[in-house]
Amino acid sequence: MGVVAAAFVVFAQPLAAAGRQVTFRALDGRTLTGLLMDAHDRPAPAVILVPMLGRPKDDWQAVAQRFADANINALAIDLPGTTLPSDSAELAHWHENILAAVAYLTTRPSDVRPGAIGVAGASLGASLAVLAAAQDSAIRSIALVSPSLDYRGLRIEGPLHAYGARPALLMASTHDPYAARSVRALAQDAPGPRDLRWSDTTAHGTLLLARDPDLVRALVEWFQQTLG
């Protein structure tokens, strides 16, 4: 696989009945923390959950539980910062948190089935999911919730094309004009399957999932299909 981030577990401790806190390291030595909810029958597929800017990984907790209930491991991670960095070049490296999470999951073959890792990202998290998936062939499928063609200079058309024939799920509210336009544009002339899901709920990113349970159900079912 094309992972450039080295990752390993430092410790794991119970966080809640349905999840636990895990830590692992990125290439630059930072310690990353994730909320891991285990599938009940392992080894099983795994999905990494990436929040939107200014929101914590805990935004994904209810969705992560839905994945675990569907026998898919779910690892929610934080972004490197709560605000955008002043240097745009630094933002271009934020996806390395996802690469570290993928590398961590691949060290757990007794829990995570090889070749069955996906990533779901919301808003900026969606952009970072595309960058990571374009770089790492171990990511088998991605889901983009309220994506942006251009997030403060971070463009994803090229990386999504480089992602190639692997499947992508694109989700947005019909009341979120830029995300809706981005979904339509990203689905055009795609080299692989691009499934679209729309919501009439007025919300963006993880807030859209929190307010539209049908969208959550579609998200979980889609990863069940694409990760096997």
Per-residue pLDDT, averaged over 154-183, amounts to: 97
Q: pLDDT per residue over 184-208, tens digit each?
A: 999 999 999 999 999 999 999 999 9
The confidence score (pLDDT) of residue 187 equals 96
Per-residue pLDDT, averaged over 133-139, amounts to: 98
Please tell me which residue, 86 or 199, carries the higher pLDDT value. Answer: 199
The confidence score (pLDDT) of residue 18 equals 59
CA-CA distance, 134 to 20, in Å (whole number)?
A: 29
The confidence score (pLDDT) of residue 16 equals 40
Q: pLDDT per residue over 56-80, tens digit each?
A: 999 999 999 999 999 999 999 999 9
- Which candidate, 228, 219, 227, places its Cα nearest to that of 195? 219
Q: pLDDT per residue over 2-51, tens digit each?
A: 333 333 333 333 334 458 999 998 988 889 999 999 999 999 999 999 99
Q: pLDDT per residue over 211-226, tens digit each?
A: 999 999 999 999 999 9
User: Quick check: helix, strand or coil at residue 79?
Assistant: coil
CB 204 within 8 A of CB 146: yes
The confidence score (pLDDT) of residue 12 equals 38
Please tell me which residue, 16 or 156, carries the higher pLDDT value. Answer: 156
Q: pLDDT per residue over 88-115, tens digit each?
A: 889 999 999 999 999 999 999 999 999 9
- Does position 1 have pLDDT exceeding 50, yes or no? no
Per-residue pLDDT, averaged over 169-198, amounts to: 97
The alpha helices in the chain, defined as continuous H runs, are 61-69, 88-91, 96-106, 124-135, 157-163, 177-187, 206-211, 213-227
The confidence score (pLDDT) of residue 14 equals 35
